[in-house]
Amino acid sequence: MKPNQQQPCGADGKWQLPQQVSMTALQLRDWLEYPGSLTARLRQHCQQFSIQVLFEGYAEIANHELKTLACAGPYWVREVLLCCDGEPWVFARSVIPKSSLEGDAAEVSRLANKPLGELLFTDKGQRQTLELAQIDQSSAIYQHVKDPQPLWGRRSRFLLASAPLLVSEIFLPSCIAYQGESGVAAS
C-alpha cells in the first residue's frame, strides 16, 4: 500500500505523565493507560482489523519528540490509521532514529501494512515511558476526523532490541475508547 500523504501529520499536544492528567472519562483513561498491545486490544473489538499507511519515510520531527527520544537523527517516520471494520479508530505515529534501523530492530522499516505492535510486544520490545496528551486543535491529524472533537492520545518510548523508538497513538472519535464518555478535561 502506498502512503497517500506527502508530509507527516505529527502528534502535537502537551504530553504529560499519566498522574499529571486530570480526567473524568474512566473508559478513555483505561484505554490511554492500557499496558499491553493496543493492536491486540483493538482486534478484540472488531471483526476485521486493518492498517492504512499514510506516510513512511525520513522526515523532520518536533522538538518535543527530539527531547523524548534523546537520540540523534535522521528519523524514519511512519504514520498509519488503525481501522476496525473499515472505520479509522487510531492514528499512530512512529519515530525511529536511523541508528535504530540496524541490527535486530531493522524490520521496523519494512512493516508495510503490518502493525508495529506485533514487534514491540515480543521479548525484543520494552516500554520505557508513557505520556498522555490532548492533541492540539491545529494538528494535521484532524484532517482524518469527520466530526471535530477533542482528541486524546498516548505516547510511549520503547526499546526494540535495545534500539529506541517513539510511538504516539491518537484515539479518533469513532474509537470505542470514547463511547459513553463525556466531560473529558485536562489539567
Q: Are 12 and 140 in contact (CB under 8 A)?
A: no
pTM for the full predicted model: 0.85
pLDDT of residue 127: 79
pLDDT of residue 170: 94
131 is in an annotated binding site: no
pLDDT of residue 117: 64
pLDDT of the chain along its 187 residues, tens only?
A: 344 555 677 788 889 999 999 888 889 999 999 988 898 899 999 999 999 999 988 999 999 999 998 888 899 898 999 999 999 999 999 898 888 777 665 666 666 666 666 656 656 667 788 999 998 888 888 888 877 788 999 999 988 777 788 999 999 999 999 886 544 433 3
66 is in an annotated binding site: no
116 is in an annotated binding site: yes
Domain 18-178: give its CATH architecture: 3-Layer(aba) Sandwich (3.40)
pLDDT of residue 184: 43
